Amino acid sequence: MIQSSKFTILLALALFFSFCDTPQSSTETATEVEAPASPTTKKAEYAIVIHGGAGTILKKNMTDEKEAAYNEALNAALDIGEKVLQEGGTSGDAVVQTIMYLENSPLFNAGKGAVFNNAGKNEMDASYMDGATRNAGAVGGVTIVKNPILAARAVMEKSEHVMLTGAGAEQFAKEQGIETVDPQYFFTQDRWDALQKAKASEDQSTGMKLEDNDFKYGTVGCVALDKYGNITAGTSTGGMTNKRYNRIGDSPIIGAGTYANNETCGVSCTGHGEFFIRYAVAYDVSAMMEYLGLTVDVAAKAVVNKKLVDVGGSGGLIALDHLGNVSMPFNTEGMYRGYAKPGERVVKIYKD
Ligand code: ASP
């Protein structure tokens, strides 16, 4: 036990110094300068950060109308969460209401607008974590729950479990009075066309050509800090286009796609889920803050722009610390993202 904690501390120090020692490392070269250079030390009254997925989002492939629609949706989502927080609501309510809005929008790969699996069905995953208690809930592979984030929160609040999947999760949602819909509700032509395109070029051995990620991402996530100092994080997704075998990604996995701890930060991820699971990405950001004393921005960028880049894991994340400092790094072409704090609002799509 003592041996292993000694090893951990040594490893942490080694890691810390390795970041310090490489001024031209990919952490720095790939770093996006978006968050304030020096983090605030005074707690913001509230803060909220969202993402709508990362991927090959290029301005040259975007029409003005589409870009305006995404900006409008991201702003509307922030409006909803910010209002809850301004009125003294909890970070949990802010996260759920914001994510429900994004789930109901056909623009994003969550709820209505979720991607199709290989069988032409929508299978959705969601998770929710409370940074005050570190309680959490998640659902995987649900097909009839209109707002999977509601089911994830209910798993935390109304069951003894952390994660429910498939038919059992749907039965639980129904028993909790959560709205269910005909699967047809989730259909969107764009996602259907993306499935046909994916199938036409698929790798027959797995049914997924994972490196070809431009039409697969679009997951949504939200992290909020309320007036009471509590952080909540949530993530919701349709997963990856053309997925098979009831594949589940990182989004409903606590520690991989979502994590929250009032002492450190809240995190919601988006990207190639298999990498985010294997590298425990959301928890890693929190752990680097806890063990190495890094700021949220340094920790988040080290994970996304160094650790993930080194192994070929594409995607990004949003993170928010207990003071309201925000980080939104991604190693793809773009990420739908934004944040709001008193007197401050940022919404972005591309690298800049
Ligand atoms: N991370 C999600 C998954 O692998 C996909 C995404 O973020 O778009 O299921």
Closest CA to 267 of 129, 164, 133: 129
CB neighbour list of residue 156: distance below 8 Å, 6 or more residues apart: 128, 129, 130, 135, 136, 137, 162
Q: Lay out the sheet containing 315-321: strands in order across.
A: 258-260, 265-271, 315-321, 326-327
pLDDT reported for residue 18: 45
Q: Does residue 219 line the site of ligand 1, with CB under 6 A? A: yes
pLDDT reported for residue 30: 36
Of all protein residues, the one whose alpha carbon is nearest to atom 9 of ligand 1 is 239
Query: Which atom of ligand 1 has the smallest separation from the CA of 216?
Result: 8
Residue numbers of the chain with a pLDDT score lower than 50: 1-11, 13-14, 16-36, 210-211, 213, 215
Query: Which atom of ligand 1 has the smallest separation from the CA of 271?
Result: 7
Task: Provide Rg for the chain, Cα atoms.
Answer: 19
Are 326 and 47 contacting, i.e. CB atoms less than 8 angstroms apart? Answer: yes
Structural domains of the chain ordered from first start: 2-350 (3.60.20.30)
User: In this structure, how many other beta carbons lie within 10 angstroms of the beta carbon of residue 199?
Assistant: 14
Q: Lay out the sheet containing 163-165: strands in order across.
A: 163-165, 135-142, 124-130, 231-237, 220-225, 47-55, 334-341, 344-350
pLDDT reported for residue 205: 58
CA 6 and chain centroid, separation:
32
- To the query of whether residue 232 is one of the catalytic residues in this protein, the response is no
Of all protein residues, the one whose alpha carbon is nearest to atom 4 of ligand 1 is 273
- Tens-digit pLDDT profile for residues 76-108: 999 999 999 999 999 999 999 999 999 999 999
pLDDT reported for residue 28: 36
Are 41 and 325 contacting, i.e. CB atoms less than 8 angstroms apart? Answer: no
